[in-house]
């Protein structure tokens, strides 16, 4: 059963070169995402990935088309949508003088949730940072905290916008493990990424976008067999990322 249904989504922006004209950053995108799937949206910079997510999240107006999440219309019921989704943005800013526990208590109060801050931190393996400020965290820790913040309302759908960009290999794989754990508990996850290995490893289905349109959609295996069926090389050993992790350890130090 589809928990997200989007039909012919369009997002228009002013043309920076011709101010009186507009262009479609998202140009007729339709999606059907099953409950419990990890769904990836891939594409080069400017393909329309983030704008598509922001329309689904109710953060940007849908100029044309429609979207439903759990049968709730995103345009007509944006506040109801926000009650059932969690959003991790590419960049987050937090109050520097508040601890992680205090920040989560604030978010929990805003959602009238009953979640316990320490339990949320445990889910993302940051319980030892409960009394730290956000500006004291490393890049990987900030990403995991942003996911903890997105979980305060027990969302049905979690949106992740390039969750591992800029992270070292160990921090990236820690995020992968967290995504798989959340999905294993039944959460539907929609993510954008530039990392092809990440998409292939995590996603049940992938949509590839270019110039505001979806140009292909299927499982990773089917996309490979259809568009790149010929094996380019035989892989008999790991890569430098595996070397890095083997030498630096698998603990959560990021």
Burial class (CB in 10 A: 0-12, 13-18, 19+), 251: exposed
Tens-digit pLDDT profile for residues 99-108 = 999 999 999 9
pLDDT surpasses 90 at 15:
no
Strand-pairing partners, residue 7, are 66
Please spell the DSSP secondary structure of the chain, one letter per residue.
-EEEEEEEEEEEEE-SSSTT-EEEEEEEEEEEEETT-EEEEE--TTSSHHHHHHHHTTSS--SEEEEEETTEETTT-HHHHHHHEEEE-SS----TTSBHHHHHHHHHHHTT----HHHHHHHTT-GGGTTSBGGGS-HHHHHHHHHHHHTTT--SEEEEESTTTT--HHHHHHHHHHHHHHHHTT-EEEEEES-HHHHHHH-SEEEEEETTEEEEEE-HHHHHHHH--S------S--HHHHHHHHH-SSS--
Chain CA centroid to CA 57, Å = 11
Tens-digit pLDDT profile for residues 82-101 = 999 999 977 777 877 899 99
How high is the pLDDT of residue 20?
Answer: 83
What are the φ and ψ backbone dihedral angles of 161, each rounded to 5 degrees? Answer: -100, 105
Please spell the DSSP secondary structure of 76-118, one letter per residue.
T-HHHHHHHEEEE-SS----TTSBHHHHHHHHHHHTT----HH
Q: Which range is least confidently modeled, 121-125, 210-214, 236-240? A: 236-240
How high is the pLDDT of residue 121?
Answer: 96
Q: Give the pTM.
A: 0.90
CATH class of 2-230: alpha beta
Per domain, the residue ranges of the chain are 2-230
């Amino acid at each position: 059963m589809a928990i997200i249904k989007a039909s012919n989504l369009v997002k228009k922006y002013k043309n920076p070169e011709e101010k009186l004209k507009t262009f479609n950053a998202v140009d007729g995108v339709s999606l059907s995402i099953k409950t419990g799937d990890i769904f990836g949206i891939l594409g080069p910079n400017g393909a329309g990935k983030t704008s598509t997510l922001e329309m689904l999240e109710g953060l940007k107006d849908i100029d044309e088309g429609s979207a439903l999440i759990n049968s709730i219309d995103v345009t007509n019921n944006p506040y109801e949508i926000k009650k059932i989704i969690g959003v991790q943005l590419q960049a987050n800013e937090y109050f520097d003088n508040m601890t992680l526990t205090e920040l989560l208590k604030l978010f929990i109060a805003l959602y009238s949730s009953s979640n316990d801050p320490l339990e949320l931190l445990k889910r993302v393996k940051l319980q030892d940072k409960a009394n730290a400020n956000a500006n004291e965290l490393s890049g990987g820790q900030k990403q995991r905290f942003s996911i903890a913040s997105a979980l305060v309302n027990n969302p049905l759908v979690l949106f992740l916008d390039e969750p591992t960009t800029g992270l070292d290999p160990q921090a990236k794989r820690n995020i992968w493990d967290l995504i798989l754990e959340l999905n294993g508990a039944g959460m539907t996850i929609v993510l954008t990424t530039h990392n092809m290995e990440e998409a292939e490893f995590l996603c049940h289905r992938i949509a590839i976008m270019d110039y505001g349109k979806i140009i292909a959609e299927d499982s990773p295996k089917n996309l490979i067999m259809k568009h790149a069926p010929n094996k380019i090389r035989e892989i008999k050993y790991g890569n430098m990322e595996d070397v890095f992790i083997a030498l630096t350890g698998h603990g959560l130090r990021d």
